[in-house]
Amino acid sequence: MDTISENRSFGGIQGVYRHHSDSCGCPMTFGLYLPPQAATAPVPMLWYLSGLTCTHENAMVKAAAQQHAARAGIALVFPDTSPRGEDVADDKDYDLGQGAGFYVNATQAPWAPHFRMWDYVAEELPRLLDNAFMIDPDRQAITGHSMGGHGALTLAMNLPGRFASVSAFAPIAHPTQSDWGRKQLGAYLGDDESAWAAHDATLLMRESGFGGPVLVDQGNEDQFLDLLKPEALAEAMAARRQPGQFRMQKGYDHSYFFVSTFMGDHVAFHADALGLA
């Protein structure tokens, strides 16, 4: 693993690291914020999964998360959103290919050789973090924005017991019924829609829900509301009587101005679930 950069931030260290990924078959870059508490003992970690077109860097520099993580004593993990490189398949559209991995394991050509973001986030990167940093692997939580909110919710519900809590900012909530989902799931997983269900937060919520608390924030002025379909997830949470909250925030859009406004709430929410509050 190569260290790209390390910067002091709120008493901790914001690092950027690169390593070869066996899952994705290419080099992968991630950001990791270690709070000051990690200097003396392993700390719990909060995963942040980013949205379409993002790299590890977007949330790392725009979400205003480090100050809240330092106060709570929680590490922040910022994975990339897809494999990258000259040998990695791509598409002319921004919402497919590099920068748009959708946190699935692709089974279809030309995506299958590299687009295995589910295995990367669920298995490979956690092992690397556990071995290389002062991280407590038994205390994890997960959040994300847009495509990353989709990833956070689906990972949490598909991996029971892994995460103490899950939250999302403007998630792609019902991808099997949205152009932000049908296009990508069809390309990556094929035409059999039964294979898509495990990657739809609304369907998972209806079927099994999540064993811990859930927090979802959505701006009511989000320019992508018709693609996100938040009402489907809200209805599924209510029908299942899922512990947690779905909050429609008046006047907010899809940007990182929205994410950074409520980041403190989300870090505090996860800190409480992880026993840090």
pLDDT score, position 47? 98
Domains with residue ranges and CATH for the chain: 2-273 (3.40.50.1820)
Q: Is 22 one of the catalytic residues? A: no
pTM of the model: 0.98
Q: Is 260 one of the catalytic residues? A: no
pLDDT score, position 38? 97
Q: How far is CA 13 from CA 70, 74, 115, in A?
A: 10, 12, 30
Per-position DSSP letters for 35-54, written without gaps between them: -GGGGTS-EEEEEEE--TT-
pLDDT score, position 181? 97
Q: Provide the sign of the torsion angle of the four alpha carbons 132, 136, 140, 144, taken in this order.
A: negative
Q: Is 23 one of the catalytic residues? A: no
The model's pLDDT over 69-121, given as tens digits with 9 standing for 90+, comes to: 999 999 999 999 999 999 999 999 999 999 999 999 999 999 999 999 999 99
Q: Given 9, 23, 146, 178, which residue is catalytic? A: 146
Q: Given 174, 200, 222, 270, which residue is catalytic? A: 222
- Answer whether the bond into residue 79 is a cis peptide, omega within 30°: no
pLDDT score, position 190? 98
Q: Given 114, 254, 266, 270, which residue is catalytic? A: 254
Neighbours of 60 (CB within 10 A): 23
pLDDT score, position 263? 98
pLDDT score, position 164? 98
Which stretches in the chain have pLDDT values below 70? 277
